[in-house]
Amino acid sequence: MVLPSKMGSIILCMVILDHPTDRDFGYWFHNAIRLAIKLDVRNTCIREDKPPKVLKLYRRIWWALYFLDIFHIFIDTRHSRLLESTSSVKPRTEDDWDAEDCSGASSGLLSALTPQQKASPVVHCELSRIFGELLSIVTNKPRQDPRQLMDPLDAWRKSLASKMHVVGNTGTDVYYLTMQAMSYRYECILCRRIRRQHSRHPDWSEWAKQRLRSAILELDTIAMRVLTSGTLQDFPISFVTTMPALLALHIESALDPGETDLVRSMARISISQTMLVLTQGKEIPALKRALPVFEDIVAKKNVYWVPPTNLGQIPAQLSQNNSMADAYSSLHPQINVVSSQSEQYVYDPPLGLDFLDFDFLWQIEQLDFAGRS
């Protein structure tokens, strides 16, 4: 009974990934960890003293929990790691998949797994290991120059299309875009942490700032591809919940008085675009909860986009994106579009709260955005 209970706990963790600080998520995740310890999953994977079929199952369990642990930390940076990092457990491979029974395919109830679906758990495992190591370095070696940290991540991204068997246009593959979006989301969180940690080291802080901007731009590109194709409903919840995090990053930039007028104006453009993405997925539970929260923030803090009147240096092609704002305004007329020269608000989070924490997003209706109750 222990093994089925453990697998059930993992599944219940997965179905509520949109709110990892939810009590149900916490209960099922900690229950899965407890059962993993009881079953001695980690050490069994290292010793490899079980039949091959059992070892495959144990490795799948271990890496599913490892990914959840990394996800748990990066979504809410107040949490502590629950699983011990180890390089001794063999990574997942596509050979870990059991022989597929396609007997249900003829009835239309089941379809054969695609190569991308088979590769997805493998690259999830790889991404978890990379960010687990990066987080460990940033946390335990705060004086180390971070500028070479992302080399393994950059190499992983370059090989991702090949690993996922994506041929041709990578901009339309659901699983490839999901992995790319997750990697940039985690990079944003890590870079923000590095910036705060090295605020007194200008070179390192500026490097982290530029990496953060590049990662946000990549997320924007992915979001716009999905918006244009109208395929958001086809994506897994791990991708869907990246959109509120992206919007939060744009709002942070738009409210940052330390940024240039150009950066703040571009952030406002992106706010308009990302709000359209959330609107497109407004029937998805995770976005259904998030959308009213962000509508309220945008309206109260005057961070919506209008064409600038005295920022002549903004490239002319950016004005084309104003159609995004017009489209969203027609859907939500209660949002007041105001000048980019309006009052700037400084984001000063309450003690213990990070801007990208999902708890913060859900509580923000009761909190002033500047962090005052």
| One-letter amino acid of 45 | C
pLDDT band (50, 70, 90) for residue 66:
confident
pLDDT at position 325: 43
Q: Residue 288 has what pLDDT?
A: 84
Handedness of CA 370, 21, 240, 220 (dihedral sign): positive
Residue 111 has pLDDT above 70, yes or no: yes
Give the CA angle between residues 210, 312, 326 to the nearest 5°: 85
- Residue-wise pLDDT tens digits, 214-237: 999 999 999 999 999 999 999 988
Whether residue 244 contacts residue 278, with contact meaning beta carbons closer than 8 Å, is answered with yes
pLDDT of residue 16: 56
Residue 79, both tokens: 């949490």
Q: Give the residue, 357 or 181, on which the prediction is more confident.
A: 181
Other C-beta atoms closer than 10 Å to the C-beta of 155 total 11
Q: pLDDT-based confidence at 107, cuts 50/70/90?
A: low
Rounded distance, CA 155 to CA 329, Å? Answer: 41
Give the contacts of 97 (CB within 8 A, at least 6 positions apart): 113, 118
pLDDT at 260 > cutoff 70 = yes
Q: What is the average per-residue pLDDT within 188-204? A: 89
**In contact, 70 and 44? CB cutoff 8 Å:** no
- Angle at alpha carbon of residue 350, lines to 346 and 351, rounded to 5°: 130
Q: What is the pLDDT of residue 188?
A: 92
CA gap 63, 107 in Å, rounded: 33
Quick one: tokens of 242? 């990246």
Residue (of 45, 52, 48) closest to 95 by Cα position: 52
167-177 average pLDDT score = 90
| Least reliable range by pLDDT among 17-21, 238-242, 246-250, 358-362 | 358-362
Give me the pLDDT at residue 302, please. 81
How far apart are alpha carbons 72 and 10 in whole angstroms? 13
Angle at the Cα of 315 from the Cα atoms of 314 and 317, rounded to 5 degrees? 130
pLDDT band at 356 (very low <50, low <70, confident <90, very high): very low
- Name the pTM for this structure: 0.79
* Cβ neighbours around 54 below 10 Å, total: 12
The answer to whether 182 and 242 are in contact (CB under 8 A) is yes
pLDDT, tens digit, 9 for 90 and up, residues 284-322: 887 888 888 888 888 888 887 655 444 434 344 334 444
Query: Which amino acid, 193?
Result: R
Residues 253 and 261: beta-carbon distance below 8 Å: no
Q: What is the pLDDT of residue 86?
A: 66
| Stretch 190-218: mean pLDDT | 92
